Structures are given as structure tokens and as C-alpha cells.
Structure 1
Amino acid sequence: MDRQELFARIQYPLPQHAISRLIGKLADCRLSWIKDPFIQRFIKIYGVDMSQAHEPDPTAYACFNDFFTRALKPDARPIGEDLVSPADGVLSRYGRIEHGTLIQAKGQTYSLSALLGGDTARAAPFRQGSFATVYLSPKDYHRVHMPVTGTLREMTYVPGRLFSVNSATANHVPGLFARNERLVCIFDTEQGPLAMVLVGAMIVAAIETVWAGQITPLSGKVQTTRFDEPIVIEKGQEMGRFKLGSTVVMCFGRETAFGEFDPEGSPVSMGQTLGALPGLPATA
């Protein structure tokens, strides 16, 4: 057994939710003698570039969560043409959705229907489409933005585990993204349906959206909210954020012409062009 597999296996018996909520309380602590050293140590360990932050002074943040979900300077992330990345991170996998399955890692696939909450009707429009997965590492900017302009149709909370979502776990935990707690947001766009799936993970204290505030942690069963009043979010605008890092899986109802990226993972920035959907005008 190699080190990656060992790391994945030891997560199974851990009280994942309890650990994550405890870390969440610590990350929300507003005592300067606790939060300031915590933030400064984190910056040093992970090499966080504070020069791009709207507030570059680490001690100015009220708590670690505020630092972690920090805003960037207005010109820090220009929005490219066509389909753009929703977040900073690594484009870990992308391509066609084949027979209702997505690629998780080399030799690992998972179910589209399971990812979207187990509803076959919700999954049906995406079965012949495409997907892209962006992993957000601890050093990254942790707000999630729209890859194209969309009108929110429904939001579904899906309870689940909280495995780490790094490459080691993705390589060894079957169906990882369809097992973890997640928030599935379905949008209507000019290029067809779009699913933005914000996947929770170990020590992710919460997931927020711009229209409803903090959504997780919840518990129990799948919970769906439908929106009759249109909520339109423009391409490049923020749609949600992670309190501590995780992964975004985008599913498109149409095939995407992705650019040239390393299939084993390429660094991307929020707003960077990923490719083009049919019918998508080549404008920013």
C-alpha cells in the first residue's frame, strides 16, 4: 500500500463532520491572539499571495474565515472570452460525459445521476454533455464565479461524507465527488443547462451562495429549493464560496470544445478561458 492509498483509507473511520465543524468554530474565532498567528502561519506554509487581495494586511481580517474567503483587487482576475474557469485552482479533469459517467481520476469514474443528488430527471439533460472539475488548494482564492451567464432554476443540498478532495483521495476513494456533501445549483443559460456542483470536503466549515447565504452544514435528506423569481448571475460574477477549500464540478448540457490542458491537471485562474460551448459568442 502506497502513501496516497494509506491517506485515503485512514479517512474512512474518522468523524469527518465533527472534525470539520470543530475546525469551523476555530476558523470563526475573532480573538486576535488566536486568529492572527493562525492566519500568518497559514500564509507562510501555503505561500499565499496577499498582494492580490483587496485587503493585503492579514491582521485586518476579523477571523480566519474572512481571510480565507478574501476578496481580490478589482483587476486581479480579468474575465476571458467564451467559457471561463469559475475559480482559481487546478483543472483536474474535463471532457465528455460518457454513458452517464464522469472521470474522477485515472481508473476512477462516478455517476452523473449520483453527483446531482440521485434524480435521473435532473441528470438527463447532461447525459450527452461535458464536464470540468476544478480543485481549489488551500492557497487559492476561494470564491466561485459563473463560467457563463445563467439564470438560477433550482438548488439542491445533498448530504454525504467529507473526505478530502485532493489528488491522493481522488485516486483511491471510489465515487468521491458523488459521496461527499455538496450543493447542486442548476442554471439555464443561452448555451443550455449548467450544473454548478460545490463539493464539500474534510475541514470545509461551510458552503455559501450569494442568493441564500450559508447553506451547509445541514444534515438528513436531500433538500431542493426551486426559484420562480429569476436570479440572474452574469459571467464572471460571484455565485458562492467555500469556507476552507474544496472542488467545483461543472456539468454542461452540450459538448464543450476545451482548450489545450494537461489531462492530469493544469493550474487555472478564475476568469481564464477554458474553451467554448456551441453557440457561445466569442466575447468577454
Structure 2
Amino acid sequence: MLTIEWMVTVTLDKLFALIQYPLPHHLISRLVGQFAECRIPWLKNLLIKAFIRHFNVDMQQAQEPDPTAYTCFNDFFTRKLKADARPIGDGLVSPADGTLSQYGRTYHGTLIQAKGQAYSITSLLGGDMYRAAPFRQGSFATIYLSPRDYHRVHMPLTGTLKEMVYIPGRIFSVNQATANHVPALFARNERLVCIFDTEHGPMAMVLVGAMIVAAIETVWAGQITPLSGEIQRIRFDTTVTLEKGAEMGRFKLGSTVVLCFSREVDFDDISMDSMVSMGERLGEFPATQRIRYQGDDTASSAG
């Protein structure tokens, strides 16, 4: 039986999603980004301390636990953790702290965004059927990083970078309310697609932008977003190999990581919407023949 409280929650969630459509997403995010880079001591300290109190951030895990030691809010937000704060498990591990909102098999190129919401792997990866082809019958996992989470993204497997694609788009909020009511949310937002070749076949790590996310960075190229309104693709002939557990990028304010694999993953019995930590085991790959990533050879090369 539907309760009044449930119906009110659904209505408010839908209203929250709807009011985002006319907002100037990029303008809001860039303004917040400038504010987050403020280096006026009293202002940045006030902002950081208020954020810690509101979101109950555990600073004892940080390599630098003193909030006033950070030069700006962005430096605090992308803070390093102590070396032993996130042990790396066996098998496939989570690339970030966050909520494991969805995971499972990819059937006929379709991923699940939320209950009643699905979207295509081709649209997520920028509309290129060649890039999407290896992942059409594979597996995926989606991790949502909330404001209180650690916001560096790490490798769930050892991989060699083959291609990086910047895809412009809107930057809706990516919380559960929006995911429930904005169709193809992760394929509409600005995002960075990183394709790696791994011992288990091709892996796509998609770093999805969101409202008030001022920038996405990678360890090999620095800050990537914001860029122009066109898809920008780079193929890597030089070797960029990152070990499992190594940092690969970061968000300046929170967002979502979507992992896509060319093969079936035997996911552990983890409840949807469970909190996971970076390095926590998510599952493992059955022992079958791997596939190499080919991609579209018409892309430009780096190196």
C-alpha cells in the first residue's frame, strides 16, 4: 500500500529533477569552481570547517588532518588519505568511496541507471559504435560519490591506457533523485571516457560530471574539463600503465564513476545502494579468454 510519505518523497524527487532542466548548469558550476579556489585564509577555512561539520567528514583518515592547512577548498576536497586508510582487496575492486548504486550484466548494449531507467553503452561512450562494441555483452558497475566521500579515483584493475575521450553535455546533479527521473542521465552529462586494456580485456572508466563539479583531472594529463562543446578524442601510442589501486584521476566536487567491462563479472553479493570504499572487493572475473581493445583507428594519437 502506498503511503502519503512515499508519494510526497517521489513528488519532491521528481520536482527536484525537473527544476534542473532550465538551470545554467555550466555557469553555476564554473562560479562554484572559482569560489572553491579562493585562497583568502579566513574564507576558505570557514568554508572547509562548515563542510566538515555538515557532512561529518572523518579528517583522521586524511594525510593532513588539519583543515586550516589546505590552501583552498578544492585542495581539501581532493585531499590524500593516509597510506593504510584504503587497503586494496583481491579481484575487482571499487575505484572510489561511494554508493554502489547499480551493477550487473550489460545485455544488448544496455545498462541500468536506476529502477525503471536504462540507457545505452554506445551513448555513454560518446555515440561511437566501434568504441562501444566490446562492452555490449559485458558487465558494469556504477559508484556515486557523495560530498562526504574521498574524491580521488583509483584503478580497479591494472591497465594500459588506450584512448581518452572528452564528451560535452549537461551537468545535472547525479544523486539518486535525479537518476530516478532524468532519462539517460549519465549519457547526457559532461564526462570523460578512459579506455584501458587489462588482463581481463577492455575496461572503460567513465568519470561523469555533475552540477557544481568544476573540473575532472587525470594523473597523466592534469585537468581535462571544462573543454569546448565538441567531442575530443586522443589515442595513446605511448605507454601509460597504472597498477591496480593507483590513482587515475579526481573530481573537484562530487560525481559518479561508471565502470564497463567486456566480460562477465562474478559480482559478490552486495546490496544495491550499499556504501563501498576505494579498494574494497566487488567481485572477480571467470577464467576465460580475454579480448584486446581495438577502438576506431581514425582517432588522433598522442605521443
TM band (smaller chain): over 0.9
8 Å CA contact 1:191, 1:278 repeated in 2: no
SS of aligned partner of 2:52: helix
Partner of 2:35: 26
SS of aligned partner of 1:197: strand
8 Å CA contact 1:160, 1:180 repeated in 2: yes
SS of aligned partner of 1:2: helix
Partner of 2:213: 204
TM-superposed CA distance for 1:220, in Å, is 1.4
Partner of 1:59: 68
Task: Tell me which amino acid in the other structure corresponds to 2:22.
Answer: P
TM-score (norm 2): 0.91
Partner of 2:200: 191
The aligned length equals 279
Q: Deviations over 1:189-235 (max 9, x none)?
A: 01000000000000000000000000001121100011101100000
Partner of 1:100: 109
Task: Tell me which amino acid in the other structure corresponds to 1:229.
Answer: T
Task: Tell me which amino acid in the other structure corresponds to 1:106.
Answer: K
Partner of 2:301: none
1:81 aligns with 2:90: yes
TM-superposed CA distance for 1:149, in Å, is 0.1
TM-superposed CA distance for 1:262, in Å, is 1.1
Partner of 1:164: 173
Q: What CA RMSD, in Å, does the superposition of the two structures yield over aligned residues? A: 0.8
Task: Tell me which amino acid in the other structure corresponds to 1:234.
Answer: E
Structure 2 unmatched ranges of 5 or more: 1-9, 289-303
- Cα distance in 2 for partners of 1:180, 1:228 equals 28
Partner of 1:276: 284
SS of aligned partner of 1:250: strand
Identity of aligned residues (%): 72
Task: Tell me which amino acid in the other structure corresponds to 2:277.
Answer: S
- Cα distance in 2 for partners of 1:116, 1:34 equals 39
Matches within 5 A, 1:129-140: 129-140=138-149
**Aligned match of 1:215 in 224, 229, 235?**
224
- Cα distance in 2 for partners of 1:107, 1:16 equals 25
Task: Tell me which amino acid in the other structure corresponds to 2:242.
Answer: I
TM-superposed CA distance for 1:267, in Å, is 0.3
TM-superposed CA distance for 1:85, in Å, is 0.2
- Cα distance in 2 for partners of 1:261, 1:58 equals 34
TM-superposed CA distance for 1:254, in Å, is 0.3
Task: Tell me which amino acid in the other structure corresponds to 1:268.
Answer: V
**Aligned match of 2:162 in 148, 153, 160?**
153
- Cα distance in 1 for partners of 2:270, 2:178 equals 22
Partner of 2:152: 143
Partner of 2:6: none
TM-superposed CA distance for 1:174, in Å, is 0.1
TM-score (norm 1): 0.97
Bigger Rg, which one: 2
Q: What stretches of structure 1 move > 6 A for 4+ residues in a row? A: none
Matches within 5 A, 1:4-43: 4-43=13-52
8 Å CA contact 1:90, 1:134 repeated in 2: yes
TM-superposed CA distance for 1:99, in Å, is 1.3
**Aligned match of 1:226 in 235, 238, 243?**
235
**Aligned match of 2:126 in 96, 107, 117?**
117
TM-superposed CA distance for 1:64, in Å, is 0.2
